Amino acid sequence: LAITPSLHAFKVVIAGGTGRLGPRVASELRKATDAEVMMLSRNAFLATAPNRVTEVFGFVGEAFLDANPHVSVRDWDGGDLTDIVGCDWMGWQEDALQNADVVLNLVGGYTQQREMATERLVRESLRLNPQALQITVSPNEEDVKTLTPGALSMKLERLNKCEEMVQQNCLYSKCLRLEAFDYQNNVEKIVQAVVEGKK
């Protein structure tokens, strides 16, 4: 009896991956698993430039990608089809989600953009790959109060709505509420959730 190896490597897709947590998670995932990581960015060109050129978009940089050949960055629409800035976003769903084992949502902010991005990830994952584990990461309630004190109830409602969307629609899901700025601990918890999802 011959054992046939898997046809694809363990694949993790990180929406919002070019923010503060994404590069750290991608590096640690390689140490903990054999994962190939695809980061979704609203502007992959700027996110992977040799030097940061704007604060508007996330940034991982060319040097990070050279040091982490298991990571790629792909344009996507970010859930908002009226505010597309990347030049190669068409087909992101098939490229990113079709063979994904885990879809990790690190999209930040408390605007409607967060809801739209979550909805787009859930809808397209269900269409192309409903077996993928969906992990949504949000700050805990106390940190939302401290970091952005205005319109607190609206922000918390948005976070809850995103979590409910994932939990109610996805076969496999996990929602993490983490402490802001505790990057090392947060990375460990996220990687642990991914590793547990791999089993």
Whether 78 shows a pLDDT value over 90: the answer reads no
Q: Note whether 73 and 67 are within 8 A (CB).
A: no
Average pLDDT over residues 102-114: 91
Tokens describing residue 64: 């990070």
Share of the chain above pLDDT 70, in %: 91
Average pLDDT over residues 86-98: 84
Q: Where are the alpha helices (DSSP H) in 33-140?
A: 44-47, 61-67, 92-97, 112-128
Average pLDDT over residues 18-46: 91
Cα-based distances in Å from 95 to 39, 72, 109, 175: 11, 11, 25, 24
Whether 3 shows a pLDDT value over 60: the answer reads no
Strand order in the sheet with 11-15: 71-75, 36-41, 11-15, 102-105, 133-139, 172-178
Average pLDDT over residues 72-85: 77
Q: Where residue 59 falls among pLDDT bands split at 50, 70, 90?
A: confident
Average pLDDT over residues 3-7: 44
Average pLDDT over residues 26-48: 91
Question: Model-level pTM?
Answer: 0.91
Q: Note whether 48 and 65 are within 8 A (CB).
A: yes
Cα-based distances in Å from 177 to 8, 9, 46, 138, 190: 31, 28, 29, 5, 10
The angle, 0 to 180 degrees and rounded to 10, between the axes of the packed helices 183-198 and 22-32 is: 50
pLDDT tens, position by position, 16-28: 999 989 999 999 9
Average pLDDT over residues 19-47: 91
pLDDT at residue 82 in the model: 62
In angstroms, the CA 106 to CA 175 distance is 11
In angstroms, the CA 26 to CA 131 distance is 21
